[in-house]
Amino acid sequence: MTDPKRDNLDGTVVMDDPDADVTRQRPATTPIHPRWYLAGALSFAAALAVGYIIVVEIERRSTPAPDAAMAARPPAPEPREDGSAAPPPPPPPPEAPPPVAPPPPPPPPPAVVPQVCLSERLPTADGDLGFLCSEADAKLAARGVTTTLAATGTPKESRNAWAGLGWYRMAGAQWLRARCCGEAPTLQGPAALASCQLDDALGAIRLAKAADALEAAAKSYFQAVDCIFKTNAAGLVDERRRPTAAERDAFLRFTAKD
């Protein structure tokens, strides 16, 4: 029996069907070489390796370095002697607010003009009482005011107020000096009267500011001039009569105008 298959020169297989008038052709199948399997396996393995490398690199970049992680981690508490961990250190104190600038100092009071100050408290004909700021002797200061007020044209009120002071004229001179002559020192009485503490009484009048302090100083002054009178030394301060409480009251009225 004749084999129905036969090969053509182009590689096709020709099937001879004895029952058919037409001869059918079917393409020949190309055989798969074994090296093709090996190449496919290698390509798949290479793709897996590349994918693994990419995943590892992404994880490495997203994970912080050990040094940075240690720096961000708070320090571990030091162990105590008994083996327990010490408590964490307290938080730092809050920052102090910036210092506030102190308010500016108040402006200094206006300067006192001695001549104006004296004439306001004891008006005179020519207003010349400036010597009170330079004279150091209590008796001469009081005598100078008496002489100035005796000038023609002096207001009667000034002459009467000064004359009514009597023994307190030295105290009046000291009060005017303290109010109008700045830091002028205390007037001084005669050295022979030191035992009667006249200088201390004049110093108390110089320092007295409030009315009650001035009243207490006036009482101390009365004791000093009464001592002078009792020691027969009144002539040393241009006085003759005994000091009186009326003169002390006149002094307090004279100083009340301040």
Q: Are residue 119 and residue 210 in the same domain, yes or no?
A: yes
Q: What is the dihedral of CA 239, 240, 242, 246, to 10 degrees?
A: -60
Q: Are residue 124 and residue 47 in the same domain, yes or no?
A: no
164 in a structural domain: yes
21 in a structural domain: no
Residue 112: its pLDDT value, please? 61
Q: Are residue 58 and residue 120 in the same domain, yes or no?
A: no
Could you read off the pLDDT tens digit of each residue along the chain, which spans 258 residues?
455 555 454 544 445 555 544 445 555 555 556 666 676 677 777 777 767 777 667 777 766 555 555 555 656 556 566 666 667 778 887 787 788 888 877 765 555 678 889 888 998 877 689 999 999 999 999 999 999 998 878 899 999 999 999 999 999 999 999 999 999 999 999 999 999 999 999 999 999 989 999 999 999 999 999 999 999 999 999 999 999 999 999 999 999 976
Residue 252: what residue type? L
The HSE-up count of residue 82 (CA atoms within 13 Å, CB side) is 2
Q: Are residue 55 and residue 145 in the same domain, yes or no?
A: no
C-alpha separations of 84 from 76, 77, 87, 224 in Å: 12, 10, 9, 84
Q: What's the structural domain count of the chain? A: 2
138-164 b/e with 16+ CB inside 10 Å = b?
bbebbbbbeebbeeeebeeebbebbeb
Asked if 181 and 206 touch (Cβ cutoff 8 Å), the reply is no
Instruction: Provide CB contacts within 8 A for 5, sequence distance 6+.
Output: 13, 14, 15, 16
97 in a structural domain: no
Q: Are residue 129 and residue 51 in the same domain, yes or no?
A: no
Q: Are residue 157 and residue 44 in the same domain, yes or no?
A: no
Q: Are residue 144 and residue 232 in the same domain, yes or no?
A: yes
CA angle (244 as vertex; 125, 156 as ends), nearest 5: 20
Find the domain containing 58 and state its range: 35-64
59 in a structural domain: yes
Q: Are residue 42 and residue 122 in the same domain, yes or no?
A: no
Q: Are residue 46 and residue 135 in the same domain, yes or no?
A: no
84 in a structural domain: no
Residue 125: its pLDDT value, please? 78
Q: Are residue 60 and residue 121 in the same domain, yes or no?
A: no
Residue 9: its pLDDT value, please? 47
Q: Are residue 141 and residue 223 in the same domain, yes or no?
A: yes
Q: Are residue 60 and residue 122 in the same domain, yes or no?
A: no
Q: Look-up: residue for tokens 């069907």?
A: 17
C-alpha separations of 69 from 59, 63, 65, 89, 221 in Å: 15, 9, 6, 20, 88
91 in a structural domain: no
Nearest to 200, CA basis, from 230, 220, 182, 176: 220
166 in a structural domain: yes
Asked if 198 and 225 touch (Cβ cutoff 8 Å), the reply is yes
90 in a structural domain: no
